[in-house]
Structure 1
Amino acid sequence: MQTFQLNDVLSEHRPHLRSFAYKFTKDDSEADDLIQDTMLKAMRYADKFIEGTNLKAWLFTIMRNTFINDYRKETRKNAVVTQEDEISNAHLMTSATKNEAEGKFAMADIQKTLSKLPKCYYDPFIQYFEGYKYHEIAEDLNIPIGTVKTRIHMARQILQKQLKVYRK
C-alpha cells in the first residue's frame, strides 16, 4: 500500500482509535500522543500488514502494545532512577527509609555511587532503567548488544556491592 493511501485509511480509523486511546489514558493530550505513536508505528511497519486482514484490529493491537510498553518504561524509570537532581524518599527502596535521617543518607549514598560509576557503565545503566530496551541502548551508544548487557550487569554488581548496607 502506498503512503498516501495508507494515510487516508489510517485517518478513517482515527475516531475509533481516539476512544480506544482515551480508555487507556483517561487524558485527552495523552490519548492524542498515543494515537500519534500508533499512526507512526503503523506507517513504519506498513510492510508487515497483510492485505485482506482486519486493519482496525491491527491498529488496536499496535496501540495496546505501545501503551503497555510505555507504561513499563515509566514504571521502571520511577522505580529506580528519577530525572530530578535529588532522589526523593518515595523513589528509594523501602529498606532505606526507616526514618528521614536514614533516608537522606541513603539518597546521598545512591547519588554518590551512581556518580562514581564509569561512564561506560553509567550511560547504559541509566538508559535501561529509564525503560529503553537493550537494542535501543546499543543503537544509541553505537556498541554491540552483548556489550550493553555486560555493562548493565557490571553496573548492578557495583551498585549492589557499594549499597549492600541497605539490603534487607
Structure 2
Amino acid sequence: MTQKEFSETISLHAPSLKSHALHFTKDPEDANDLLQETLLKATRFVSKFEDGTNIKGWLFVIMKNTFINNYKRSLKTRDRTVQEDEITSANLHYSASTNSSVGSFILQDINLALAMLPDKYSVPFIRYFEGYKYHEIAEELHLPLGTVKTYIHEARILLKKYLKQYQS
C-alpha cells in the first residue's frame, strides 16, 4: 500500500474515529486533538501496519493507547502541582524566617497598622483578606459594591504607608 493509498484509507475512517475520540474525551476540542494525534501517529508508523489486517481496529488501538498515555501524563502533572500547592503559609513562615522573633515583630507591626486604619477601611479589607469576594462584603456590610472596592483600595494605600519600612 502506497503512502497516498494509506492516507486515503485512514481518512475514510476519520468520522468513526472522531466519534470514538469524543467518547473518550467528552469534549469536542479534545476529541479533535486526539483524532489528529492518532492520524499523525498512524502516518508516522505506517511501516508497522501489516497489509491485509484490520486497519480500522489498528487505528482504534492507536487512539486508545494515545488517550491512556495522555491521561497518565496529565495525572503526573496534576500530582506534582498538588504537592507543590500543599505547602502551607505556616510552613513557609518557619522556612522563610531564621529568627522567629523577627516574624513576631513584623506581625505586631502589621496588626498595629491594621489597628490604625479607620473601621470603614479595616473591616472590608480584613474580610477581603480572609477570602470574601467584593460582592459578599458589600452584602454583609450593606454597602454599594463600588464603595467596598474603594475602601479596600484606600486600606491598601494606608497600609503601604504605615508599613513602608518593609517595602523592598
Normalising by structure 1, report the TM-score. Answer: 0.51
Show CA shifts across 1:64-111 (max 9, x none): 00000001111101111x4xxxxxxxx1279x56xx423645998xxx
Q: Does 2:90 match 1:102? A: yes
Q: Does 2:47 match 1:56? A: no
> In structure 2, how many angstroms separate the alpha carbons of the residues matched to 1:21 and 1:106?
48
Structure 1 107/25 Cα, relative in aligned 2: closer, same or farther at 3 Å?
A: farther
> In structure 1, how many angstroms separate the alpha carbons of the residues matched to 2:49 and 2:38?
14
Alignment of 1:10-159 (within 5 A): 10-80=10-80, 82=81, 91-92=82-83, 100-102=88-90, 104=92
Where structure 2 has 5 or more consecutive residues not aligned to the other structure, the ranges are: 97-168
| Residues paired across the two proteins, number | 96
Show CA shifts across 1:134-155 (max 9, x none): xxxxxxxxxxxxxxxxxxxxxx
Between the aligned residues of both structures, percent identity stands at 41
Structure 1 105/50 Cα, relative in aligned 2: closer, same or farther at 3 Å?
A: farther
> In structure 2, how many angstroms separate the alpha carbons of the residues matched to 1:107 and 1:71?
35
> In structure 2, how many angstroms separate the alpha carbons of the residues matched to 1:14 and 1:107?
55
> In structure 1, how many angstroms separate the alpha carbons of the residues matched to 2:18 and 2:64?
12
Structure 1 or 2, whichever has the larger Rg, is: 2
Query: Which residue of the partner structure matches residue 6 of structure 2?
Result: 6
Structure 1 106/74 Cα, relative in aligned 2: closer, same or farther at 3 Å?
A: farther
Where structure 1 has 5 or more consecutive residues not aligned to the other structure, the ranges are: 83-90, 109-168
Structure 1 45/77 Cα, relative in aligned 2: closer, same or farther at 3 Å?
A: same
- CA shift, 1:60, in A, is 0.3
> In structure 2, how many angstroms separate the alpha carbons of the residues matched to 1:107 and 1:60?
51
**What CA RMSD, in Å, does the superposition of the two structures yield over aligned residues?**
2.5
Moved over 2 A (4+): 100-108
Normalising by structure 2, report the TM-score. Answer: 0.51
SS across alignment from 1:92: helix
